[in-house]
Structure 1
Amino acid sequence: KRVSPTDRLRADIDELFGSDRELSSTLEEVARLSVRLMMQAAVEVEVDEFFGRVRYQRRDDDHPAGWRNGWQPPATVKTTMGAVELQRPKLRGTDEAFCSRLFGAGVTRTNALESLVISGWVRGLSDRDIEAALSEVLGPEAALGKSTVSRICLRIRDEFDAWRTRDLSGVCLDYLFLDGSHFKMHPGAPAEPVLAAWGIDTDGRPVFVGLAPAVSESTDAWDDFLADLKDRGLGPPLLGISDGAPGLTGAFDRAFPTSLRQRCLVHRCRNVMAKVSAHDQAEVKADFWKVFDVGDAEPGDDAVGVAQRQAGEFAARWKARYPSAVACVSDDLASLTMHLRFPTEHWRRIRHSNFIERTFGETRRRVKVIGRLPGESSCLSLVWAVLDRASRGWRGFTMTPRALRLLQDLRRQLLAPAPSPDEAPTAPAKVAA
């Protein structure tokens, strides 16, 4: 079977997020590809309706005559997201000519279709609103049928609604990453957070777990977010990875009291740098990362002990000049070194909360602001569609026999039923918030 233009666009999105590029640097391209995908899907749905059957479905006697015969060369269409290329279908053997209600002959600018896409997102993917928007632009005779609008717009919303209420009892995570990204969801209002959770399961596979809006990244917001995941069956991970926001760390410890918690080293490094003069930042930064470079030390107390000694050396060198910077490390050292209790091959990927692959070092802040997608429902649906597809390209974790044994030991220590009074506990100590 030939690959349709929409399938090729989906493959392009998969490839985009499977690369090592930063998510922040791909947002504009994602927006353009999303518009292009919606436009191309609209044309292909129109062809399905014209023939009364989908691609490769056999023709029945009551279906119109004709068949698909490939695609015309790409046509460039100008949109507010830039120029995009679309392909019109070639049809043969039809009793009447096919004419797209969205693309007339020679159309190079699609205000109507852009209204379909943008109004669909901005107005919450309402069929009635989309039809009204098209009628306003082109007149009643150019409005789309309800089935076309529904099949294009409702599919994503319905898939998102099903996804965010799905059962999670079958998901068993070793690592749970928690983060918040800010989006402008309401016209004239400041950016608001969207809370996200993704993880690595016991087979080393990435799993996109949760996505929800919030008024702020408060304790109550994170409490509600994590409570929903638990109510749908998500069990405690071995390790939670996040920044050090009090609302998030407190909520995690309440939701998963038996789990360990790693504080994001990238965020902590920024905190340290904020307390150091520009003249010394390069040296202090290099020394900060040396604290967590424990060489060939064995995971567990051995590796943590090396990091503690190196933290002492860091303090000895810089405490006189930058006591507050040193306190940023020493006061929270237990949660900064928690990743060292896990398999060595996972250390570099579980010591920060930026799970989506990016250049390590000077990364963007966790707040990623998008200013083109007002409307909570529309924003969430599009963010989910993008991240869901991105998650399929995320690189999993290598699970060697040695790593599996260590993770299984930690699972028994942390998550097994409490020992009887005559049994000595063996679980690593919990980390204070």
Structure 2
Amino acid sequence: MTKTVVAVQPSQNHEDEAGAVAAIDVPSSRDVDELEVARELVRQAREAGVGLTGPGGLLKAMTKTVIETALDEELSEHLGYDRHDRAGYGSGNSRNGTRSKTVLTDACGSIEIDVPRDRAGTFEPKIVEKRQRRLTDVDEVVLSLYARGLTTGEISAHFAHIYDAAVSKDTVSRITDRVLEEMTAWHTRPLERVYAAVFIDALHVKIRDGQVGPRPVYAAVGVDLAGHRDVLGMWAGEGDGESAKYWLAVLTELKNRGVADIFFLVCDGLKGLPDSVSAVFPDTVVQTCIIHLIRGTFRYAGRQHHTAIARALKPIYTAVNAAAAAEALDAFDTEWGHRYPAAIRLWRNAWNEFIPFLDYDTEIRKVICSTNAIESLNARYRRAIRARGHFPTEQSALKCLYLVTRSLDPTGTGQKRWTMRWKPALNAFAITFADRMPGSETT
């Protein structure tokens, strides 16, 4: 039966433990159940007085053994024969001892490993490459912590506390800066030809540019005809209300990346955007965000009245048509206008951008009004922004928000399935926009 050997001997301190974990006979998982292997390892470690974790713990020793075994297998594959195999005699290349190096892992901190060498010097290990000092998972941990808003100093302190490993602030910066090229590629990637809806929202980020001040970062989230939510891009604004020229450049960029049509563009109070939409996507319906309207109403109302106001607002945005919605708004004005006139003015000023969606099927309305997925994304963005407080540059702010986007799904694309039932909505879009659906021009 094949065995892997990890030695364990009784020890009294960490220095002894480092050399103590060396004599456990580990049957191969190909021959026995993995659970039994784990139980035997733990039993022998306890008998030897070796802890599970810590500088001289079992996990660290096992990780070292696994990495070194994998490297030895790589060298065998490179040479074309196993250790002590007679086939290697006279082959022209052979093993040439090992060299020690310290690598940082995400599970066990720093580990000293022995990397095998060959006499010809042609061996290029892949598991732990030459000059590599961190395993790939460590970089992913750093990026994940950065996406959650931790500063480079906090990440460095985290590794020192949790892993007992030194990762300098400069190293953390270099790791996160490596995603800049990836971020550029992501921001220029081809997009879908048609989107059922695109939501554009502003996040206010504090950026130190001479002095710390709020700057808007605009995120565009598209919902394609397969029901996937995708972050299309992020753009930093100047902060004093973007011009029509600014939005024309953003929308033209989306068009140049392959977007031919957008059924609905949903936004809230972004000056210059509606006029620019008609220039780039003339058939797109510009719709004000219903959720923002409702929340804006609450800002003007006392908390004790929020429940009653929410109940009074519902007939407005669930009305069968614009005329019925106008009647519901008048009723709302009669009931609450004397107490909260600013809330009424908010609705009347946004009326022309509010009523377009009332002309469409209930399922289409749900897509426009159901912003849970969008709000969930914004909540992640805001959590990372709050944790950082402010950013030294515009690029560092965009990098942090990109890493949040990257963490949304395992593939790192920032794409997620729409959370509501999609088929009824797709049918409604297909009927309402039949002449604009992909493939309609060939039928």
Query: Shorter-chain TM-score: what band?
Result: 0.5 to 0.7
Q: Could you list the runs of 5+ residues in structure 2 that have no partner in the other structure?
A: 1-28, 30-62, 81-92, 119-127, 136-158, 409-413, 439-443
Cα offset, 1:396, TM superposition: 4.9
Identical-residue share of aligned pairs (%): 20
Look up the match of 2:57.
none
2:247 matches 1:222: yes
Amino acid at match of 1:259: T
Look up the match of 2:39.
none
Q: Cα 1:215–1:322, aligned 2, differ >3 Å: closer, same or farther? A: closer
1:146-157 alignment to 2 at 5 Å? Answer: 153=178, 156-157=179-180
Inter-partner Cα distance in structure 2 for 1:115 and 1:237: 43
Look up the match of 1:191.
214
Cα offset, 1:237, TM superposition: 0.8
Look up the match of 1:409.
431
Cα offset, 1:268, TM superposition: 1.5
* Match of residue 114, structure 1, among 169, 176, 192: 169
Look up the match of 1:167.
190
Q: Could you list the runs of 5+ residues in structure 1 that have no partner in the other structure?
A: 3-42, 76-83, 126-152, 295-301, 417-433
Amino acid at match of 1:268: L
Cα offset, 1:174, TM superposition: 0.5
2:204 matches 1:182: yes
Inter-partner Cα distance in structure 2 for 1:291 and 1:367: 35
Q: Cα 1:404–1:189, aligned 2, differ >3 Å: closer, same or farther? A: same
Aligned 8 A contact 1:177 1:353 in 2: no
Higher strand share: 2
Look up the match of 1:245.
270
Cα offset, 1:411, TM superposition: 2.2
Cα offset, 1:116, TM superposition: 1.0
Look up the match of 2:333.
315
SS for the counterpart of 1:356 is helix
Amino acid at match of 1:258: D
Inter-partner Cα distance in structure 2 for 1:350 and 1:406: 13
* Match of residue 362, structure 2, among 344, 348, 372: 344
1:348-387 alignment to 2 at 5 Å? Answer: 348-351=366-369, 355-358=373-376, 370-371=388-389, 373-387=391-405
Per-residue Cα deviation, 1:75-94 (whole angstroms, up to 9, x for no partner): 8xxxxxxxx86555696784
Per-residue Cα deviation, 1:230-270 (whole angstroms, up to 9, x for no partner): 22221231111111232334433443331112211222123
Per-residue Cα deviation, 1:335-390 (whole angstroms, up to 9, x for no partner): 32444444534544522666435499x99999955435433333323322321332
Aligned 8 A contact 2:288 2:354 in 1: yes
Amino acid at match of 2:172: V
Q: Cα 1:111–1:87, aligned 2, differ >3 Å: closer, same or farther? A: closer
Look up the match of 1:283.
308
Cα offset, 1:95, TM superposition: 6.0
Aligned 8 A contact 2:373 2:418 in 1: no
TM-score after normalising by structure 1:
0.57
What's the RMSD between the two structures over aligned residues? 4.9
2:284 matches 1:259: yes
Inter-partner Cα distance in structure 1 for 2:395 and 2:204: 15
Per-residue Cα deviation, 1:162-190 (whole angstroms, up to 9, x for no partner): 1222233x432001011122334446432
Amino acid at match of 1:212: W
TM-score after normalising by structure 2:
0.56
Aligned 8 A contact 2:367 2:425 in 1: no
Q: Cα 1:91–1:277, aligned 2, differ >3 Å: closer, same or farther? A: closer
Query: How many residues are aligned here?
Result: 315
Q: Cα 1:352–1:334, aligned 2, differ >3 Å: closer, same or farther? A: farther
Aligned 8 A contact 2:207 2:214 in 1: yes
Inter-partner Cα distance in structure 1 for 2:234 and 2:94: 42
Look up the match of 1:36.
none
Per-residue Cα deviation, 1:12-67 (whole angstroms, up to 9, x for no partner): xxxxxxxxxxxxxxxxxxxxxxxxxxxxxxx99xx89x96999x995456897899
Q: Cα 1:263–1:105, aligned 2, differ >3 Å: closer, same or farther? A: closer
Aligned 8 A contact 2:203 2:217 in 1: yes
Q: Could you say which structure has the larger radius of gyration?
A: 2
Q: Cα 1:66–1:181, aligned 2, differ >3 Å: closer, same or farther? A: farther
Aligned 8 A contact 1:120 1:378 in 2: no
Aligned 8 A contact 2:216 2:237 in 1: yes
Amino acid at match of 1:116: T
Q: Cα 1:250–1:352, aligned 2, differ >3 Å: closer, same or farther? A: farther
SS for the counterpart of 2:204 is strand
Q: Cα 1:255–1:415, aligned 2, differ >3 Å: closer, same or farther? A: farther
Q: Cα 1:256–1:353, aligned 2, differ >3 Å: closer, same or farther? A: farther
Aligned 8 A contact 2:265 2:287 in 1: yes
1:87-106 alignment to 2 at 5 Å? Answer: 94=116, 101=133
Look up the match of 2:346.
328
